[in-house]
Amino acid sequence: MEESTSVCHVVALPYPGRGHVNAVMNVCKQLASRKQQEILITFVVTEEWRGLIGSEPIPENLRFATLPNVIPSEHGRAGDFAGFLEAVATKLEAPFEQLLDRLEPPVTTIIADSFVVWAVGFGNRKNIEVALLWAMSASVFSMHYHFELLLAKGHFPVHLSENGHEIVDYIPGISSTRLADFPSVFRLQGPRGRQVLNTALEAAYGASKAQYLLFTSAYELESQTIDALKAIFTIPVYTFGPSVPYFQLENNSASASDHKVPKPKYFQWLDSQPKQSVLYISMGSFLSVSNAQLDEIVAGVQNSGVRYLWVARGDASRFRDGCGNIGFVVPWCDQLRVLCHPSIGGFWTHCGWNSTMEASFAGVPVLATPIFWDQFPNKKKIVEDWKIGYSVKNELEPEILVTRGEIAELVKRFMDLESSEGKAMRKRAKELQEACRSAIAKGGSSDKNLDAFIENISQRTEAVVSIEIGMPACSALSNSSLVSMNQNSAMRPHCVKNYEFKCDCLLCPCKMELPSETPILDRSKKNYDRGNGFVSTYANCEGKVLQIANNLSIDSSIMKGNIVKQTERCTHGYGCCDNLAILHICVVQKKEGEEKYLFLMREMMLVGLSHEEAEYLMGDQMGLAFGEKIRSHCLHSAYVWIVR
């Protein structure tokens, strides 16, 4: 076993987008603030993003490392979003590997944004643990991860005018939700839209191959969803949130009290406003509403007579004209510090997850204008679940403008501190604030999770379970020969993804005395004994499978695609349940000039697919993603070749 080293070296790899970089950075600062002498964090970004981050203060044990600018610029990301996703998926891995090989001390763990879709496979290949970080809400993760349920129920694709009003009540951990309030990527059409959706699904499905699943959310914000995900996954699921830069607030307050450091003008303006009188408006940095709708919003806010602080990037002339003494327009501000200012009475936002958590942390009610992706379910959470805000627009009719008159009335109603409705909404916002601050307080859920995660990744020795092989035909092995299972100590016993056989004898895997906690191996052994022709191997052992095939004199040309996935899906358990479904995909045998799928349609339907859906999956590139999803959803999985 490898001895422990004094420093746990974590490499953080965010997806190169503002919301993702901020989320991963906030988590890294949370981690770096603990056991500073025992943990080192290397934050990896492109050279462009290193410049965009600037010189913000970071802990001494957090450092930057850069990758060359091999992907399109951040400034053009919205123009070809699908192309940007593709570039991240195909161009960053090689320079990242070169960087990792140079880093010292040796890397213990990679914290990777889930949308860097190659990161988990990379870590497994390098034998480095990967903690997959989902930078959106846990609810949105569950919606992506259980996408096949939408397919099975006929709720995909989503067309707002046709089925947007329909209610979905079968996603684990998610309250009843209109299809219109699901992520907008489920509505995208055409090849590019399908490409974006594929990447989104791959980002979620990758969690089944990681060693940890991390959320920037707080358990108190999404307890039902987190509990459901913990019941599904065999890896540790941690919430660290709300992962917002709350740890900088004290430093900012100290700097503000230093008379040598003048306050920004916008902050001086806030100081001069009455308590809870200012509406803070910021609609994100990626996409925006249409110009026509923005004109109505500007006019409506100004006509409402409500004080406002507006973050407007680019040409801000339309925002400044007519604002008079009641408005203040800036290109940027310290958002969390602004939201925590006593003069702020509300937040008009696009409902990005970082902004949603900052509003919750500050205890500020929300006016919601979602634009893209997860912002729609976030809006639903704000308005319907938490009941701390209003929706500006009807998502079922996105083409209809909300008029300036409607906006003015909504803003006045929203900022009315004396109405019973407004008081109840602000009371709930303060209760949410208390829950957020309780989570990060000493002994809170996020505080405990941070400590548990650091303890896990700091353990440089893994529990090794030894299994004796009892097989007389295996002359290469003595009775004392062992097969090792490198089992992460944090994993539950059912996880078998890290079995690695050190024996070249074909039959050894099938003749093992199998421990009772590995029913998938037991199943494989029984299939072999029955003469069904199943040769079992395990995750990341493609070379071993090819060797087995060669030793059996099997022509590899009859095999196509990836190693076949054999999946056992426990609904009530095999060994722990009564129902079992096995799915075979991507196996092709060439016979008489025809490619013939070797799978049982009946078995595909056991996992909830109709005959038509099964045919669709087998004939479309998305089939790979769906098959991966169905496999990764299971409690137990192994890799097999079907030999017939």
Q: Give me the helices (H) in 171-275, please.
A: 190-205, 223-232, 249-257, 265-271
Q: Answer yes or no: are the C-beta atoms of 495 and 471 closer than 8 Å.
A: no
For residue 249, count other CB atoms closer than 10 A to its CB.
15
The C-alpha atoms of residue 28 and residue 43 are separated, in whole angstroms, by 8
Beta strands 177-178 and 167-168, pairing class:
antiparallel
The C-alpha atoms of residue 345 and residue 549 are separated, in whole angstroms, by 68
pLDDT value of residue 253: 52
Torsion of CA 164, 167, 170, 173, to 10 degrees: 90
| Helix, coil or strand: residue 535 | strand
Say whether pLDDT at 53 is over 80.
yes
The C-alpha atoms of residue 602 and residue 609 are separated, in whole angstroms, by 9
The type of residue at 545 is V
Q: Hey, which of 27-41, 223-237, 507-521 has the most confident mean pLDDT?
A: 223-237
The C-alpha atoms of residue 368 and residue 65 are separated, in whole angstroms, by 37
Using pLDDT thresholds of 50, 70 and 90, give the confidence band for residue 464.
Answer: very low
Say whether pLDDT at 470 is over 80.
no
Using pLDDT thresholds of 50, 70 and 90, give the confidence band for residue 285.
Answer: low
The C-alpha atoms of residue 372 and residue 374 are separated, in whole angstroms, by 6
249-282 pLDDT per residue, tens = 655 554 455 556 688 999 999 999 999 999 999 9
Beta strands 307-311 and 212-215, pairing class:
unpaired
Sequence ranges of the domains in the chain: 259-440, 507-642
Higher pLDDT, 205 or 507: 205
Q: Answer yes or no: are the C-beta atoms of 40 and 105 closer than 8 Å.
A: yes
The position carrying tokens 């099997």 is 554
Higher pLDDT, 177 or 533: 177
Q: Hey, which of 24-38, 270-284, 555-569 has the most confident mean pLDDT?
A: 270-284
**Strand runs (DSSP E) across 504-626, as ranges?**
534-537, 564-568, 588-591, 594-597
175-203 pLDDT per residue, tens = 999 999 999 999 888 888 888 898 899 99
Side by side, which strands form the sheet with 499-500?
463-468, 482-487, 499-500
Say whether pLDDT at 390 is over 80.
yes
For the residues 335-350, what does the mean pLDDT come to? Answer: 96
Higher pLDDT, 428 or 288: 428
CA 268 to each of CA 215, 250, 252, 358, 382: distance values in angstroms, whole numbers, following the listed order: 35, 18, 14, 21, 30
* Average pLDDT score over the chain: 74
pLDDT value of residue 252: 52
From the candidate CATH numbers 3.40.50.150, 3.40.50.2000, 3.40.1000.10, 3.40.50.300, the one assigned to the domain spanning 259-440: 3.40.50.2000
Using pLDDT thresholds of 50, 70 and 90, give the confidence band for residue 636.
Answer: very low
214-256 pLDDT per residue, tens = 999 999 999 999 999 999 999 999 999 898 887 666 555 544 5
